[in-house]
């Protein structure tokens, strides 16, 4: 039986996993992200590019959010969904709240640096003026395996 909450997010998570694969091929930590518009269409994608660009802020989420602003018609991504293979860190959680992303869907938990429920819960902090919906654990085993395999071969 398909999970009614996570089921609709499997296809976009597979796109994010493909993005993560691109990061791994470039020697970067395999994290991929996709921003979906209100109608579910892909607005932008991104994968980690820190090693490629030498930019410490070149996380998959930040790049996808930046790229989505144009097609979305501005910086407010209120009705958009960010789908990402790994729980966002504090920097990415800040970008999510600042861009007003309406929903965050992620795969693997990040017990060491996660800021969407594991170590911190920045995006749902009641002191902030924007709190997106969060759906966790979509294709979690596959997302976690991409990271485990990458670090095992390093």
Which amino acids are annotated catalytic?
Answer: 61
Residue the block writes with tokens 């911190």? 120
Q: Which two tokens stand for residue 97?
A: 């709240």
Q: What residues pair up with 44 in beta bridges, in sequence order?
A: 35
Q: How far apart are CA 79 and CA 131, in angstroms?
A: 12
Distance separating alpha carbons of residues 100 and 137, to the nearest angstrom: 22
């Amino acid at each position: 039986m398909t999970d009614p909450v996570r089921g609709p997010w499997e296809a976009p998570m597979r796109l994010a996993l493909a993005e993560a694969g691109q990061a791994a091929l470039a020697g970067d930590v395999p994290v991929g992200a996709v921003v979906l518009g209100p109608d579910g269409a892909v607005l932008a994608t991104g994968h980690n590019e820190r090693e490629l660009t030498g930019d410490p802020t070149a996380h998959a989420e930040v790049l996808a959010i930046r790229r989505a602003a144009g097609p979305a018609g501005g910086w407010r991504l209120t009705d958009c969904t960010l789908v990402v293979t790994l729980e966002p860190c504090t920097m990415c959680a800040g970008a999510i709240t600042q861009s007003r992303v309406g929903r965050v869907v992620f795969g693997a938990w990040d017990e060491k640096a996660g800021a969407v429920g594991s170590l911190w819960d920045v995006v749902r902090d009641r002191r902030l003026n924007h709190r997106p919906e969060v759906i966790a654990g979509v294709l979690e085993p596959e997302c976690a395996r991409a990271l485990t395999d990458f670090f095992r071969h390093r």
